[in-house]
Structure 1
Amino acid sequence: MSSVSDDVRDDFFVKNLLEKLPSDSRGSFSADQLLALKVAFGGRAWGVHAVDLRWTLKIWRWHYYFVVLAGRNRRELSRREREIARVAMVLSLAIFLVFSALLGLLMLYLVKSAFGINLFPGFSLGIWGWFQESILR
């Protein structure tokens, strides 16, 4: 019974719950009572998030609320969620690499144009002229 009690007391929700209680009453709960409290209150416990933005928007008679939560995921992901996370990571990496490559090519083009190097005589993309007019002036 003590191993079950120790397992329950090691739970994230139960630890946070017990920390909020007075120190003299923390040890008075049995494992079954702690599990019952977790079931009763655990579904509503959001915890602390790195990003916690909440606001409401009133449009005429109606109120709409928006919540943006972000933070470290502490729960175990299902197989489908792991696959989606993997695809999202690959897609994010691909977008980052394409953006970085395009930015690098733009920088190289601007440096080439600043030195007056023409790879194809009589041909220009017009980026150097736009850069001189918009950015340098």
Structure 2
Amino acid sequence: MQQKYTDEQRQIISRVMRAVPEDILSSLDSKQRDAIEMAIAVNNVRNDHYVDFRPVIGFGRWRYYAVFLLGKDRRKVPHRSNSLSIICKSIFILTSAFVLFSAAVLVLYLIKSALGIDVFQHFSFGIWDYFRDHFFN
């Protein structure tokens, strides 16, 4: 490998090249091999972001990770897919907000009912009775 790559890029390139069978690697000429190395290095750059936060959270035998990246968008994405992406994200955010709001109202209503607070006398939605019958008996 040439010296134009960082240590991290060289490690990634060597890891990928070790995964390729030896007979296929030997069939590549130096120009093809250099092109593959360049493609691997370009597509595995992690330090092009202003913020690169990748915490790992473990729960027993399961491990989850979250990635938060912030930086200039250098991808070549058509504008039509950006519009569709924005619509999908908006629908997801609105649906999530509605579900969270509904859950919060339900929890507050159950707390109010458990404390015996009646806002309107002789009127009930029946949610507390259903909850009490199914979860406390």
TM-score calculated relative to the size of structure 1: 0.51
Deviations for 1:56-95, whole angstroms, at most 9, x for unmatched residues? Answer: xxxxxxxxxxxxxxxxxxx742111111111111110110
Cα drift, residue 105 of structure 1? 0.3
Distance 2:84 2:113 in 1: 43
- The answer to whether the 8 Å contact 1:113/1:128 transfers is yes
Deviations for 1:22-70, whole angstroms, at most 9, x for unmatched residues? Answer: 4x84873325x959xxxxxxxxxxxxxxxxxxxxxxxxxxxxxxxxxxx
TM-score calculated relative to the size of structure 2: 0.51
Identify the residue that residue 31 of structure 2 maps to in structure 1: 30
1:105 maps to a residue whose letter is: V
Q: How many residues align?
A: 88
- The answer to whether the 8 Å contact 1:18/1:26 transfers is no
The root-mean-square deviation of aligned C-alpha atoms, in Å, is 3.7
Unaligned 5+ segments in structure 1 are 1-5, 36-74
Distance 2:77 2:102 in 1: 35
Matches within 5 A, 1:57-76: 76=76
Distance 1:100 1:81 in 2: 28
Distance 1:16 1:76 in 2: 27
2:30 maps to a residue whose letter is: F
Go from structure 1 to structure 2 and tell me whether the alpha carbon gap of 1:15 and 1:94 turns closer, same or farther (over 3 Å shift). Answer: farther
